[in-house]
Amino acid sequence: MTAPPCINPSLIRQYLYCPAAAYYVIAGLAEPPTERMKKGKETQKEAVEAVAKALGAEAVEHSVQLRGAGFCGVIDAVLIIDGRPAPLEVKTTTKPRRVPTPHKAQLGAYMLAAQAHYGKAVQRGYIYYAETGETAEIPLTQDLKTLVLYTADKIRQIYTGHTPQPRPHPNKCPGCWYRK
Ligand code: SF4
């Protein structure tokens, strides 16, 4: 298999959660959408509008197909704040005490794609956690860029035949769909 011209940011999240999970997605064995995910998509538009208003966005675009910097995928929304694009990802869960690295990195890939797509510097993005109605602001730091690009390279290696080692973890494996 050859690596695709662009990588979906959700694969960045999957790989950082566990490389084996990304491997199964690439092999065509992705977890099907759960009822919670489907319901989340239905209520997403209202949530996006509320977040845009709270952040003082001048404009909002829903379900934007972003492509650039080696990434492509549909982000839930792009807010325009002070003339700059800021991707917004909606998660159906509660906001964790610390935003997990896989969530930051997924958004980081969308931020890099948005820079290329809009031709404007992106300084930050947002994650809205619908269950608790909280929004996390994620800056696009150099460390985050490095992590995202490093992970994208690892994913390309899977496409070209590398089988990654699973990273079993007592907090992750019991609830992981790929366990079966
Ligand atoms: S069950 Fe554990 S090792 Fe297997 S894919 Fe899930 S997190 Fe990774």
The reply to whether 170 falls in a domain is no
Distance from Cα 27 to the centre of ligand 1, integer Å? 15
The reply to whether 175 falls in a domain is no
Residue 147 pLDDT greater than 70, yes or no:
yes
DSSP 8-state code for residue 86: E
Mean pLDDT of the chain: 93
Distance from Cα 161 to the centre of ligand 1, integer Å? 19
Beta 124-129 vs 134-139: how paired, if at all?
antiparallel
Atom of ligand 1 nearest to the CA of 177: 6
Over residues 7-47, the pLDDT tens digits come to 999 999 999 999 999 999 999 999 888 777 766 666 688 88
The reply to whether 134 falls in a domain is yes
The reply to whether 168 falls in a domain is no
Smallest CA separation from ligand 1 atom 4, residue = 179
Q: How far apart are CA 34 and CA 106, in angstroms?
A: 20
The reply to whether 177 falls in a domain is no
Over residues 57-68, the pLDDT tens digits come to 999 999 999 999
Atom of ligand 1 nearest to the CA of 17: 7
Over residues 100-134, the pLDDT tens digits come to 999 999 999 999 999 999 999 999 999 999 889 99
As a whole number, mean pLDDT of residues 142-156 equals: 98
| CATH number of residue 123's parent domain | 3.90.320.10
Task: Say if CB 10 and CB 143 are below 8 A apart.
Answer: no
Alpha-helix residue ranges (DSSP H) falling in 98-180: 101-118, 142-159
The reply to whether 63 falls in a domain is yes
Any bridge partners for residue 65, and if so which?
74
Q: How far apart are CA 110 and CA 64, in angstroms?
A: 10
Domain count, the chain: 1
Smallest CA separation from ligand 1 atom 7, residue = 173
Smallest CA separation from ligand 1 atom 2, residue = 173
Task: List residues near ligand 1 (CB under 6 A).
Answer: 18, 20-21, 166-168, 172-173, 176, 178-179
The reply to whether 1 falls in a domain is no
Domain span including residue 58:
9-161
| Residue written as token pair 């959660």 | 17
What's the pLDDT at 14? 95
Distance from Cα 43 to the centre of ligand 1, integer Å? 30
The reply to whether 41 falls in a domain is yes
